[in-house]
Homo-oligomer: A and B are copies of this chain.
Amino acid sequence: MNEIRILGVDTSLRSSGVAVIEVFGNQMRALAYGRIYNKASLSHSRCLAAIHPEIDQLITEFSPDEAAIEGAFFAKNVKTAMILGQARGVVLAACALRTLPVYEYSPRSIKQATVGAGAATKEQVAKMVMRLLGLAEQPQEDAADALAAAICHAHHRGLPEALRLKPV
C-alpha cells in the first residue's frame, strides 16, 4: 500500500479553506492547512484571480495525487450559486491544468465522513478534524472544512472500485 496525498478545498470567494493530508493505510496526517483570504476591498475578479496561483502553488509544493472539494449542491439561490460557481471553477481549472483529478462531495457526506452525522455544525467538524489528524490546535473553520473534505475522500478511496465516485 502506497501513501497518497490529498488536496482538500472548501471554496468561497472571500475565504477558501485549503489543506493537504497524507494517507497511508489507516493513518492520516496533515501536511498543510490554511485559507486563501481575500479582503472585502478586493473586486470580485481580483478575488478569483488570487485563488488560482495559491492552488497552483500548493500543488507544486506538496504534489497531491488527488483533490477533494466540497460541492455546493444546495446553494440558496441563483445569485449565490453563480458566485460560488465562479470560485469553484477557478479551483477546478487550476487542478485540471495540473492534471490533478478532483472529486466532489456534498457538505453532508463530508460531515458524515468526519463527525458521523450529516447535520454536524462547523464547530463539531473542526473538533473532530483536530482529533482525527492529531492536531495540537483546533483549525480555523474554513481550513477545517478543507481538511474534512480531504478526510472524506480518504474514506471514500477505501470503498470497492465500483462504489467510488468518478472525478468531475
Contact = CB atoms under 8 A, between A and B. Distances in A.
A97 B43 CA distance: 13
Residue of A75, A86, A102, A167 most packed against chain B (CB within 10 A): A86
Nearest to A93: B48
A65 to B, nearest CB: 15
Q: How many copies does the complex hold?
A: 2
Interface of A is mostly: helix
A92 B45 CA distance: 5
Contact of A82 (B45, B52, B75, B90): B75
A96 B48 contact: yes
Interface residues of A, number: 33
A122 interface: no
A38 to B, nearest CB: 12
Interface in A74-88: 74-75, 77-79, 81-88
A130 interface: no
B97 A52 contact: yes
Contacts of A82: 72, 75, 81-82, 84-85, 88
Interface string A43-87: 111101101110000000000000000001011011101111111
A77 to B, nearest CB: 7
A78 B94 CA distance: 23
